[in-house]
């Protein structure tokens, strides 16, 4: 999917929405536009010259009973455990299809940020992204990332820290 709606500042509209949400949350909008798409953690880590664990994944899930938007924010080297997410929320969850993700979040898969969604989400943060370490998260397109920290993510998203990943 092409990035559209770029304005005179060169930022695509989805990226501008993320920047505005970061600023509204009192967080710096340290956004980097990359030359290549970063659909995978490995691509993003190479493009930013960081470890995979420093790339933040924003996994969009759907509540099976109420259809609510669920966002799991986790370190790039971890995998989400749907059973643990369901237990944390008190409702089973499933992976959301790309059209539903786009409709509910306003973002295409591959650049999902942890904030600025069209629909309010239940947000769970894995403990692997908690703390002060430099992290990079999607900023609205597959070519945009923003620098943050676990503490910054928790503050900006209002998410709850929970055990939501598979054991190694």
The answer to whether position 16 is within a domain reads no
What is the CATH number for 54?
3.90.960.10
Cα 102 from Cα 49, distance rounded (Å): 29
Q: Is the pLDDT of residue 8 over 90?
A: no
pLDDT at 168: 59
- Is the residue at 23 inside a domain? no
Residue 101: predicted pLDDT:
97
Residue 2: inside a domain: no
Query: What value does the mean pLDDT take over residues 148-165?
Result: 95
Mean pLDDT, residues 110-132 taken together = 92
In a domain, 148, yes or no: yes
Q: According to the model, what pLDDT value does residue 39 have?
A: 83
The residue among 16, 60, 18, 45 whose CA lies nearest residue 136 is 45
**According to the model, what pLDDT value does residue 131 have?**
76
Q: Is residue 5 part of a domain?
A: no
Mean pLDDT of 27-43: 91
At 108, is the pLDDT very low, low, confident or very high (cuts 50, 70, 90)? Answer: very high
- 114 lies in a domain? yes
Q: Please give the pLDDT value at position 9.
A: 65
Give how many domains the chain has, as a whole number.
1
Q: How confident is the model at residue 2 (pLDDT cuts 50, 70, 90)?
A: very low
pTM of the model: 0.90
């Amino acid at each position: 999917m092409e990035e559209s709606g770029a304005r005179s500042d060169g930022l695509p509209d989805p990226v501008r929405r993320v920047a505005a949400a970061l600023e509204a949350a009192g967080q710096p909008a340290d956004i980097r536009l990359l030359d290549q798409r970063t659909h995978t953690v490995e691509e993003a880590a190479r493009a930013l010259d960081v470890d995979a664990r420093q790339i933040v994944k924003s996994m969009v899930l759907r509540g099976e009973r109420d259809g609510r938007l669920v966002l799991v924010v986790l370190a790039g080297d971890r995998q989400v455990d749907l059973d643990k997410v369901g237990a944390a929320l008190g409702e089973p969850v499933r992976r959301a299809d790309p059209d539903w993700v786009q409709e509910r979040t306003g973002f295409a898969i591959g650049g999902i940020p942890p904030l600025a969604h069209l629909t309010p989400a239940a947000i769970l943060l894995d403990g692997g992204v908690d703390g002060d370490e430099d992290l990079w998260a999607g900023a609205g397109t597959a070519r945009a990332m923003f620098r943050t920290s676990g503490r910054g993510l928790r503050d900006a998203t209002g998410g709850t820290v929970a055990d939501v990943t598979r054991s190694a």
